[in-house]
Amino acid sequence: MSDNQKSFPVSWDQFHRDSRALAWRLMGQGGFDAVVAIARGGLVPAAIVARELNIRVVETVAVKSYDHQAQGQVQVLKQISKPVLDVAANGGRVLIVDDLVDTGATARAVRDMLPGAHFATVYAKPKGREMVDTFITEVSQDTWIFFPWDLDVAYAAPISGGTD
Ligand SMILES: O=P(O)(O)OC[C@H]1O[C@H](OP(=O)(O)OP(=O)(O)O)[C@H](O)[C@@H]1O
Ligand code: HPA
Ligand SMILES: [Mg+2]
């Protein structure tokens, strides 16, 4: 993380609340026949949203675009299965869920696979916001979001400085 980048750590509790808030917002969008989680980051919010909205068909698409905090090419490591593509092709409503949209590169790649699907994320940064139909919280582009599965409980130095 560069020196002037802001840090936004998210606890499990907060992530659960924000994912539930996303489910509440999606309630107003009508029902969905299937959810596609963008693995890995989308797996947790997709499970929470699927539970809240009683969506039983849960599919994954595996996409990698970052190595730690360094962005690379979007690599699709696992495609969406044919039965779920058929749900969309036959007029069913598919919901795509990811943890966040940053530059929008991942969202663009997955949207191309399911052009009519509804795209939802918990967090959004300005560059990628246009790619998302529904999200909960916007953070600035120079903020790095730390998800609870990447965090551990650790010592924090006093605000005034020093070591104890
Ligand atoms: O809008 P973008 O600039 O494309 O960035 C957003 C994507 O980056 C992260 O995934 P990552 O590639 O790090 O893989 P992961 O989900 O396995 O952590 C995050 O989970 C989003 O999927
Ligand atoms: O802010 C972020 N946090 C975690 N993963 C990410 N992938 C792209 N941007 C981010
Ligand atoms: Mg991801």
Tokens of 151: 């965090």
Q: Which domains, from first to last, does the chain contain?
A: 6-150 (3.40.50.2020)
- pLDDT tens column, 102-153: 999 999 999 999 999 999 999 999 999 999 999 999 999 999 999 999 999 9
- pLDDT tens column, 22-31: 999 999 998 9
Active site residue 150: no
In this structure, of 9-23, 40-54, 64-78, the range with the lowest mean pLDDT score is 64-78
**Binding site: which residues?**
40-41, 98-106, 144-145
Ligand 1 pocket mutation, candidates 19, 38, 63, 143, criterion most atoms within 8 A of CB: 63
CA of 105 to the centre of ligand 3 (A): 11
Catalytic residue among 33, 98, 142, 152: 98
Residues with CB under 5 A from ligand 3 (ion): 41
Element (H, E) at 83: helix 82-89
- Would you mind telling me the total number of residues written for the chain in this entry? 164
Tokens of 37: 């989680």
Answer for the pair 47, 57: CB distance below 8 angstroms, yes or no: no
Which residue is listed with tokens 């052009």? 115
Confidence (pLDDT) at 164: 60
Which residue is listed with tokens 């969506």? 55
With a cut of 60, say whether residue 56 has pLDDT above it: yes
Maximum Cα–Cα distance across the chain: 63
Active site residue 13: no
- Its pTM surpasses 0.80: yes
Active site residue 99: yes
Amino acid at residue number 84: V
